[in-house]
Structure 1
Amino acid sequence: MQIVNPLRFHNLRGDLFGGVTAAIVALPLALAFGVSSGAGAIHGLYGAIFVGLLAALCGGTPSQISGPTGPMTVVMATVFKALIEKNPETGLAMAFTVVMLGGLFQILFGVLRLGKYITLMPYTVISGFMSGIGVIIILIQIPPLLGYESSSNVVEALRELPQFLANPNLAAIGIGILTLAIVFGAPARLNRVIPSPLLALVVGTLIATYLLQDGSLLLIGDIPTGLPEPNWPVFELDQIKDMIVYGLMLATLGSIDSLLTSLVADNITRTQHDSDRELIGQGIGNLMSGLFGGLPGAGATMRTVVNVRAGGKTPLSGVIHGSILLVIVLGAGKLTESIPQAILAGILIKVGIDIIDWSFLKRAHRISMKATGIMYVVLLLTVFVDLITAVAVGVFVANLLTMQKLTDWQASEIKATTTPNDEMRLSHEEKQLLRQADGRILLFRLGGPMSFGAAKSISRRMAIVENYDILILDFSDVPILGVTASLAIETMIKDAVEKRREVFIVGASGDVQKRLLRLEILENLPPRNRVINRLDALQQAFYLINGERSEVSVDL
């Protein structure tokens, strides 16, 4: 597989406009995510540059724009806080090592071709944790909107909120409200010319610089210029387990975030992304971002949509986006030092509101109370516990409910009868044979995939009928047979054989036949008792109970 995507220039004008527009949108967001993470604005820019450039060059979604995102920043803020508190001297370097680990895990996901499985997570879980992340972003940005330092977690933000409300910074509140007014209220026509986050950044900074010079506003502060020095990996033996867990958390979240954005890009561009290649590209980007002190990133939905709508179609647009941000860091870093943090808080509150899955929240109660419950549990666990616990609990409960539904459906497809009835579809000849057999033939039909959930239903159904001489097991409509269900069927066959009853196997082909043979379930049955269709089995069974042996058996 070619590691680097070839840069093609057949769509140069569109890619140029798309890349420039995406960079304009990305600049204020990168600064805001950097400040919100606790590392500093410059680290958000580093992340936007390295992830943006390398994911475009090595990824599998041509029009995707990557960089720091709200979900990744929320997790990274937790990582910074946890590692720096325990290791004041090496905690920052360890946090960036976690970013590198996350990148390595993503590369591994891609190499192992796990891309197609990443987005198989139930939508209720995805909706819950994405909405939870949106709530976290909003809550931890309230303090800077009121003129105070950003809180590192929701509990801290809520605990300190009464104090902040009692002593608000009116200048910060004014700038924050202005920012919110611009990002929410900018006319669509103006937004197409200059994205509302950048407009809010410019207008708010100019007002703060020339009209609010009393020093009451918290500013971004010093932004270093030039390329960063490499941050070589740092490990502490007693923290390795936590670092690996954090790395897996970043890798999993970044992969989900990126591949969901890839699906959005596919829908807009009518193309198909390569999910495994995308994971490798994102992993390379995060690996290098961590090495140079950047925040982790992922495919960014808003920036990708902006890029495509402006004409960006190829990886060149992502390269242009990253290159513009690199030029800003190399030569214009000083211009960003006077940006008030209240502006970034207003921009991020808009990001948080956009991340919340309002569409599903409004309709969840109409779908299913169980689905709604899962979504809200995941949301609350994301906000007040942590993302891994939220996703683990959500996936576990959702899978349990899914298995229950599947088990109920499988149970409804397990039919057993000794007389013709409406429960089982039979031909006229089959009904006649069953009727004439006078209850001595038990027809046991299985339908659809038979997983471990069907095993108990098979046993229960079999226990209902005791008086019969011949058992016909019909697998004609079974495409998949699980091990547990196979063993339940083996028990049925053994019980019948021990009681000197004949057993016929009907329609077992393909994977079902292989499973039965590998488990040696058919060992006690003569080849003539394995037939292709149900009518043949019924005819042979009827002849047997009347003291005759059919000559029309068809072996599989």
Structure 2
Amino acid sequence: MKFDLSNLRGDITGGITAGVVALPLALALGVASGLGPMAGMYGAIAVGFFAALFGGTGPQISGPTGPMVVVLAGLFASLSGDAALIFTAVILAGLFQIAFGVLGIGHYIRLVPYPVISGFMTGIGVIIIILQLNPLLGHASPSGVLGALGNVPEALSSVHPANLVLGLATLAMVYLWPGKWGRYLPGPLAALIVGTVVAYFALDVPILGSIPTGLPELHMPVLGGENMMLVVEAAIILAILGSLDSLLTSLVADNMSRTRHHSNKELIGQGIGNTAAGFIGGIAGAGATMRTVVNIRSGGQTRISGMVHALVLLAVALGLGPLAENIPQAVLAGILVKVGLDIIDWKYLKRAHQGPRWDLLLMVLVLSMTVFVDLITAVAAGVVLAALAYVKQVASLQIERLRNLPEHLDSEEDKAILQRHRDRIALFEFSGPLSFGAAADLGHHVREQSSQQSRVLILNFSSVPYLDLSAALAVETIAADAKDSGKQLYLAGMNEEVHKVLKGLNGRIPASGTYETLSEALKAAEASIQSTAEAGTDDLKGLPSGGAA
């Protein structure tokens, strides 16, 4: 594997800075997961190093993130803190991500509609904030969002004043820390240091307590057992959320660095990182937007910066224990509230009223389901509803573009033919790909728009690149209706793919005649009408079928 050493100084500077920023977040997110601060550190080290080494986004910094921690915290509660099963879920999530990358699913994950992404990201931010309300008030947080909310009244009735002041002061310090100072000492780290020192000398507040140091132990996966389905489900959620989170961060990195990431390679790198994290007792991670931005602004441009960031955390982890034991839980809660507030999509919320109402409703629905149901159901429901709404919009456009007017013809000769036989020829022009969404209304629309005097129906497929089986069946229905009412059906302008789909239904094209161009179809229709008039009958059932394309 080749390394780009042209920006080595910038990569080292960016990696060190990102490592310093990641330190308090790794500790806080480890605590929030239920597995402890060192699980956050080991996760940041493993995912940060291997995702950078094998991933497809040069300056991306990976590590524990809010969405992943929310899933892990829920799993921790469901499994009663069984660490072996939780780390198994992390390992499986990594393997799923590797599979996503190998199968090329990375390109499809980015197709999730923005209101769905906004809804579940905002929901995750809300969950993180809710789960930190009790620690801010000086009480342990019950598992789950509803449990945490239900315990807030009791916590408010017995607030720990010093704990609350310390947590709010930490939050204020993170927000108010001057940007120019942040180049040398990031706000979260400064708040962590100041809060810990103040609490150590002046306050009696809950702290993290005993923390192991040294190299991590190896955790082998535990397969089988009655909780295996729960573990697999959590692994799938972690894999999907981690992939989405990472690829969204990759897009941010692309915009800032003017580069282009490799989606599937990035998923493979993230998968290797999460698999490694599970084996050494670390929590799952993903591409972290804030840390990536810090890295790029500090000079990081290649994978070396992400690896340096992980090595900085490794060096700290080997001797951090005695110092980290005295970190107050309120300080970490204040930092996590800032993380939650940053995840909320304020940009979209501010302008949501200016966009389509459906997008806002979809975002609110996904947000609510994320907070009160679960993440996978929220994302799945959001994607399905968004897809159905899109199909409906496309179908409406396809139906609206069906025309029976000569004004939409480019050829004056074609216009003249249609004008002369306006009551006898019904022309319908399809535009764009015909999908199953439009199929249900195709036959009805053609019947409604063609007059009883029409003797020839022409369906123009010149602007249709393809059609699916549902649309093909709708064309068959139109052909059957035409035959029953004594009308001829001509098809014009079909490309090879459309021709193949229509013929594939029963071995023949469902029409009286097929033509390469609309002009040929119009001329054939005029000839049929004239020959019928000369014969003195309107019965076209016995007329010749016309030319074949």
- Residues 105-504 of structure 1 mapped to structure 2, 5 A cutoff: 105-212=96-203, 216-415=204-403, 417=404, 420-422=405-407, 424-425=408-409, 427-437=411-421, 439-464=423-448, 465=450, 466-497=452-483, 501-504=487-490
**CA offsets per residue over residues 465-507 of structure 1, 9 Å max, x none?**
3433222220011122111011110222244346664432211
Q: C-alpha displacement at 1:9, in angstroms?
A: 1.8
Whole-Å separation in 2 of the counterparts to 1:193 and 1:132:
33
Normalising by structure 2, report the TM-score: 0.94
Mapped contact 1:490–1:521 kept (Cα < 8 A): no
Whole-Å separation in 2 of the counterparts to 1:473 and 1:544:
16
What secondary structure, in the 3-state scheme, does the structure 2 residue paired with 1:237 have?
Answer: coil
**CA offsets per residue over residues 76-109 of structure 1, 9 Å max, x none?**
1001110126xxxxx2201110111111111111
Name the structure 2 match of 1:534: 518
Name the structure 2 match of 1:88: none
What secondary structure, in the 3-state scheme, does the structure 2 residue paired with 1:225 have?
Answer: coil
Q: What is the one-letter code of the residue matched to 1:519?
A: L
Query: Which stretch of structure 1 is more off in the superposition, 463-472 or 114-123?
Result: 463-472
Query: Which stretch of structure 1 is more off in the superposition, 311-320 or 369-378?
Result: 369-378
Distance change in 2, residues 1:498/1:377 (3 Å): closer
**CA offsets per residue over residues 148-182 of structure 1, 9 Å max, x none?**
22332221221111222222222212221221121
Q: C-alpha displacement at 1:259, in angstroms?
A: 0.3
1:12 pairs with 2:8: yes
Whole-Å separation in 1 of the counterparts to 2:209 and 2:224:
31
Name the structure 1 match of 2:538: none
What secondary structure, in the 3-state scheme, does the structure 1 residue paired with 2:318 have?
Answer: helix
What secondary structure, in the 3-state scheme, does the structure 1 residue paired with 2:80 have?
Answer: helix
Whole-Å separation in 1 of the counterparts to 2:422 and 2:473:
30
1:44 pairs with 2:28: no
Mapped contact 2:502–2:509 kept (Cα < 8 A): no
Q: What is the one-letter code of the residue matched to 2:413?
A: E
Structure 2, unaligned runs of 5 or more: 535-545
Mapped contact 1:451–1:481 kept (Cα < 8 A): yes
Mapped contact 1:414–1:458 kept (Cα < 8 A): no
Mapped contact 1:34–1:43 kept (Cα < 8 A): yes
1:92 pairs with 2:83: yes
Q: What is the one-letter code of the residue matched to 2:493?
A: G
* Equivalent residue pairs, number: 537
Q: What is the one-letter code of the residue matched to 2:528?
A: L
Q: What is the one-letter code of the residue matched to 2:456?
A: I
Q: What is the one-letter code of the residue matched to 1:62?
A: G
Mapped contact 1:48–1:322 kept (Cα < 8 A): yes
1:512 pairs with 2:498: yes
Mapped contact 1:532–1:554 kept (Cα < 8 A): no
Mapped contact 2:119–2:366 kept (Cα < 8 A): yes
Mapped contact 2:17–2:298 kept (Cα < 8 A): yes
Mapped contact 2:4–2:302 kept (Cα < 8 A): yes
Structure 1, unaligned runs of 5 or more: 86-90
Distance change in 2, residues 1:151/1:444 (3 Å): same
Distance change in 2, residues 1:122/1:198 (3 Å): same
Whole-Å separation in 1 of the counterparts to 2:510 and 2:197:
87
**Where does structure 1 differ by over 6 angstroms across 4 or more consecutive aligned residues?**
none
Structural RMSD (CA): 2.1
Mapped contact 2:77–2:144 kept (Cα < 8 A): no
1:66 pairs with 2:53: no
Whole-Å separation in 2 of the counterparts to 1:27 and 1:531:
70
**CA offsets per residue over residues 8-65 of structure 1, 9 Å max, x none?**
3221100000000000000000000011111100000010000001100111101100
Q: Percent identity?
A: 48
Whole-Å separation in 1 of the counterparts to 2:509 and 2:163:
80
**CA offsets per residue over residues 166-221 of structure 1, 9 Å max, x none?**
22222212221221121010111111221100000111111112222xxx311112
Mapped contact 2:30–2:39 kept (Cα < 8 A): yes
What secondary structure, in the 3-state scheme, does the structure 2 residue paired with 1:73 have?
Answer: helix
